[in-house]
Structure 1
Amino acid sequence: MAITAIHWLTDEPERFDDVPGEWTGDAGGATVTLVDDESLATEEAMLTKGIHHLGPLDGAGLTVTFDGAVAQVADRGGRVIVRPRHPDSPNLRTYAGTPCYPADPSWVVAARFVPYAEPTADAVGEVVFDHDGTEHRLVAWDGDDGLWILFRDATSGVTTYPANRQLVTAAPSPDGEVWIDFNRAHNMPCAYTDFATCPLPPAGNTLPFAVEAGERIPARLG
């Protein structure tokens, strides 16, 4: 919520109101030109007056700090973004909380993990579970010590964020048993700011029923 903008760099030099310097970007990274009263700090060095190259960059990119604020400089599909975060961001000032559905143990669902023989695009398999007597499948990705799932359902765009919600499971047992706790479904950063880039669930990860569990639309968007 501290993000104030997402700047897509080109080969045309450009200045922005929320980060020091004159910026350009290409496949090799970002270049920033600083004048006398400007500076940026990276983990390795303090950048002062002059021309500085930042790169090569990956999706996580690197962070520069300035005047109590930070900016991410990162690659997005071969293009470079600069995404500043300020402690006095309007989003932070107006954030009124994220409502949640009441915790409901009936939304803790037993499932079976079916791994792919050849994982693709980081997807490692599917979780299979029953709801009201019907089998459903969700594509899952490798998460920290478990599975990461992006999904939509019949509440999406009604009481929950339209694009997606996410949840993480514990690691499946050796026989494939895994539990999906929909009470832990939560929003991605794009639910809180227009300046985030979030993945969309695959088409098959749209559930035809309402998952009335987990986080709802943040109050400022409701």
Structure 2
Amino acid sequence: MQIEFLNKNDNFDNLRLIFSGYGQDRRIFDYLLAQYEGNLALVYDYRSLDFDESLITPYKTIELFAWSMGVMIAPKVLQAHNLLDRVVKSTSINGTVYGIDDTFGIAHAMWQATIDSINEKTAMKFYQRMCTDKAVFDEFLPFSCQRSVQELKNELEFIQKINQIKGTNFKYNTAYVGLKDRIFPSAAQLCALENVKETNVITTQTGHFDINLFKQILIND
């Protein structure tokens, strides 16, 4: 895993920590650079569970924002490094704590089919499906990742392994569900959240990726 700071301010002891989705690099959140006056860090590239906790431990509190597969991965990683109890606010965006799941996430067969068929063309189709239309896709392209197909395949395979790690009892405070999501089915998200009283569920008319929604949640909230 990679951890990079999008903004760092030693005057604050709180950290806004973003766990990104599959198939991204830091470019996906480049438009957030210098827009937040506090500490803002990004976790991405889930090809291993290596996690430099020394970058996180100086902060007394963590505001967690997780997107897509990051919603499943974040609690497991933070708990493994005894950092989960520092989370004072948590928000999920278009994902569930179940990750790969036939009822509450992305179906196992769909995930395996993505592994089996991945190439440059199918990877681009994945990024297109993240967006609701061409206008949103055009917004996304300047921030699309610069990683090889082999790296993307390795990440898909390793996320399967992370998914098999026993989950936590962690509940996000707020969950945003994009009703036009074509990656993480909104029906599966809503089903996973149906009886979770601890979570405030907010539905939006967005797809899996939406710059304006990310800015609203990650900067303005």
TM-score by length of 1: 0.26
Greater helix share, structure number: 2
Give the structure with the higher percent strand: 1
Larger radius of gyration: 1
Greater RCO, 1 or 2 (C-alpha within 8 Å, sep 6+): 2
